[in-house]
Chain A
Amino acid sequence: MVDSGGQLFTIEGIAAALIMLATVFIIVNTTSVYTPGDTHINDMQLEVIGTDALKALNYPDNGTSGKSPLVILVENADGNGFYTAFNNSLNNRTGDNRDNIQFMANITYMNRTGMINSTPLNASRALYGGEHAVRVSQWIIVDSYNGAALPPYNIFPECLSAPSCAGKHAALVEVLLWRD
């Protein structure tokens, strides 16, 4: 005698499987889950805006002996000037309302003793932790001695007297960007 115990009822099995799959698909499809993978879009936007803002500052104005506004600002340790120029470019929009991106800028360079120093340039707001910041950077070449008659000659701490400051520095302008 044929017993039906342990038999797979093929048609019903396939039908049930399809119904289950369809249900799972509909449920998954109706809710949009903001996965960590999606944050890269916002990060990328911030990165593009920040990189462009630095790049725009790094084109020398015509007739300025080859120095870009960024180089001049860094050489003179002009934090306020950097704030105005960078913030203006960073939060500029084609409409009337401005964007609200915060930033914190540092300059990193190697000093005469071969140590890596980092000096703050300026920030729109202090970074408290918890903000999700992205980093953008731009290499520049600066003159160590900025022609000032009296100290401080510029932002580089080892530059205490004019003769010791001759030469060029490679410096990295690093900016952290985040939205409130």
Chain B
Amino acid sequence: MTDDDANLSIDFLVAFTIFMVAFIWVATLVPNLFIGVTTHEIDFDSVAYRTSVILAEDPGAFSTANINHTRWEFEPNSGKDNIQRFGLAISKKTPNVLSEIKVKRFFDTTVFLEEDYRTKAIFGDYPYRFNISLKEEGKDPLFVGDWKIPENYGYIRKQVRIKHFSNATIDQTDVQKFKLNSHDTSSLIQDGNVTEHDFVIQINRSKLLYDNLTTPVINPNFDVAYRIDPRTEEINITIEDFHESPPVGAWVAPRWAKIELGCVTLSQTISDEGDAPTQLPAELYKDYVYHNMVQKNPPFELGLDDTLSVIFKPGFFPPSYDSGSIYVKFRFNATTNFGGNPIYGLQYLNTSQSKPWELTYNATEVTQPVLSNAVMEVKIW
């Protein structure tokens, strides 16, 4: 006789199978059903990561075409809505190398509000709170965002480098090396007898932007981290050593001379075809002359211990030209001495008999852009 103890019924098997299939189906549905409810809490880390990458590896973006510039960092405060995306990198090719001017602009909380950072750097529908900080070696940290940080937040840290501007000083050594003075007083040319001394500085855009940087060449993809870019960086050139007493062939005014900086003019060529430079309108390109590091427009009198600088802020020159040269011409007047008597044969800064002083990649004359170490932290909650 058959016994039905310990037998499994077909009904039960079918029912159990259906139940399990249904259960698994429901179980896989549940996370998808509720993902919309909890999304902002589970993606703090990924939002922090995304923000840090946008900041450290992207040069940023600008929404509308502008005739004056195409970079967000040059947008005046009034037009900040035209900025589409913040990005601190100097270019897409050099991730983690930040631009000094972009960093300065980004951390300017007098201009940008929390909402600006949310819509231009963090993104996302949920109004995330944030704290973004950057500390450069040997400097105070910079912050934007909230100070009160809760226990649970998304975090990422990025090691970055900041590219600093170049600067140059023209002193006695340069003058003697490049013969930047009126020196030919014995010949018929008699350029020492002039009372107006024209001294020219050349900023050769073609050379600066496209020439080889070093020998052996650094990976060309990294070039932009070492270039002096007159379109986007500050150019700072200082003339000093006015007090040096003149040995033969030197350039400096003796004590009795009265020197006045008459005017400074800017001109440019936009190709390397040998065209004559055209003058840049003085009413648009102005306020770049510094007397003892204080902005002052010529004419003014130059003392022997003074320094004379030209500082062109980032974005000063038209960004659309990448060839040709910019010429800065100083006109020094040395017509009379302190006693009111005329001066002849004065040796002074004068490039009419020599090449202009040039901004180059020669580290002896020009302090090259330096990459400093920094760390950036992004916290999101």
> Does chain A have a CB within 8 A of B375?
yes
Residues on A with beta carbons closer than 8 Å to the beta carbon of B52: 48
Interface contact B368-A62, CB-CB below 8 Å: yes
Alpha-carbon distance A95/B142, docked complex (angstroms)? 10
B84 within 8 A of A: no
Closest residue of B by beta carbon distance from A92? B375
Q: Classify chain B's interface size.
A: 35 or more
**Per-residue contact bits, chain A 51-75, to B (CB 8 Å; 1 contact, 0 not):** 0110110011111011000000000
**B96 and A52 contact, CB distance less than 8 A:** yes
Which bracket fits the contact residues of A? Answer: 20 to 34
Most buried by B among A25, A48, A59, A99: A59
A86-127 residues at the B interface, CB under 8 angstroms: 88-90, 92-95, 99
Q: Determine if B21 is an interface residue (Cβ-Cβ < 8 Å).
A: no
The reply to whether B134 and A94 form a contact with Cβ atoms under 8 Å apart is: yes
Decide: A45 and B30 in contact? CB cutoff 8 A.
no
A1 close to chain B: CB less than 8 A: no
In the complex, B225 has a CB within 8 A of chain A: yes
Question: A60 touches which one: B96, B222, B363 (CB < 8 A)?
Answer: B222
List the B side residues contacting A93 at CB < 8 Å.
135, 157, 375, 377
- Bound complex: CA A60 to CA B370 (Å): 10
Interchain nearest-CB distance for B366 vs A (Å): 11
A85 CB → nearest B CB, Å? 9
Chain B residues near A49 (CB, 8 Å)? Answer: 157-159
Judge if A44 is at the interface, Cβ distance under 8 Å: yes
Asked if B159 contacts A66 (CB within 8 A), the reply is: no
Pair A94/B135 contact, Cβ less than 8 Å? yes
A63 close to B368 (CB less than 8 A): yes
Q: Given the complex of chains A and B, what is the CA–CA distance between A90 and B157 in angstroms?
A: 10
Is A41 at the interface (CB under 8 A from chain B)? yes
Query: B133-183: which residues lie under 8 A (CB-CB) from chain A?
Result: 133-135, 141, 155-161
Residue pair B45, A41 in contact (C-beta under 8 Å): yes
Once the chains bind, are A21 and B26 in contact (CB under 8 Å)? yes
Is B371 interfacial (CB-CB < 8 Å)? Answer: yes
Taken together as a complex, chains A and B put the C-alpha atoms of A93 and B375 apart, in Å, by 6
Report chain A residues within 8 Å CB of B370.
61-62
Partner of B49, one of A48, A89, A99: A48
For A48, list chain B residues within 8 Å (CB).
Answer: 49, 52, 156-158
Q: Is B284 an interface residue (CB 8 A)?
A: no
Q: Chain B residues with Cβ under 8 A from A94's Cβ?
A: 133-135, 141, 375-377
Indicate whether A52 sits within 8 Å of B45 (C-beta atoms), given known contacts A66-B216, A94-B135: no
Interface status of B95 (Cβ within 8 A of chain A) = yes
A55 touches B371 (CB 8 A): no
CB closest chain-B residue, reference A57:
B159
Given contacts A59-B222, A59-B371, A94-B375, contact A65 B214 (CB under 8 A): yes
Q: How many A-B pairs fall under 8 Å by CB?
A: 83
Interface flags for A11-40 (1: CB within 8 Å of B; 0: not) read 000000000010001001100000000000
Contacts of B282 in A (CB 8 A): none
Distance A93 CA – B159 CA, assembled complex (angstroms): 9
Q: Are A89 and B159 closer than 8 Å at their CB atoms?
A: yes
Smallest Cβ-Cβ distance to A63: which chain B residue = B363
Cα A65 to Cα B363 with chains together (Å): 12
**Among candidates B134, B156, B214, B217, residue contacting A63 with C-beta atoms closer than 8 Å:** B214
Q: Are B159 and A53 in contact (CB under 8 A)?
A: yes
Contact (Cβ within 8 A) A62 B377: no
Residues of chain A within 8 A of B97, CB atoms compared: 59
B278 contacts the other chain (CB 8 A): no
Question: Contact: B155 with A45, CB < 8 Å?
Answer: yes
| CB of B254 within 8 Å of the partner chain | no
Q: Which of B84-102 contact A (CB under 8 A)?
A: 94-97
Q: Give the nearest-CB partner of B158 in chain A.
A: A52
Q: Which residues of chain A are near B62, meaning CB under 8 Å?
A: none
Which chain A positions have C-beta within 8 A of B161?
56, 59
Are the CB atoms of A62 and B95 closer together than 8 Å? no
Say whether B354 faces chain A, with CB atoms less than 8 Å apart: no
Asked whether B369 is an interface residue with its Cβ less than 8 Å from the other chain, the reply is yes
B28 within 8 A of A: no
Q: Is B215 an interface residue (CB 8 A)?
A: yes
Q: Does B373 contact A (CB under 8 A)?
A: yes
CB pair B155–A56 under 8 Å, yes or no, is: no
B159 touches A52 (CB 8 A): yes
Contact bitstring B29-54, A, C-beta under 8 A = 1, else 0? 01000100000000001000100100
Q: Which A residues fall within an 8 A CB radius of B?
A: 21, 25, 28-29, 41, 44-45, 48-49, 52-53, 55-56, 59-63, 65-66, 88-90, 92-95, 99
Nearest first, the 3 closest Cβ-Cβ pairs linking A and B are A94-B133, A52-B159, A94-B135
14 residue pairs bridging A and B, Cβ less than 8 Å apart? A44-B49, A45-B45, A49-B158, A52-B56, A53-B159, A56-B160, A56-B373, A61-B371, A66-B217, A92-B159, A92-B375, A93-B375, A94-B133, A95-B141
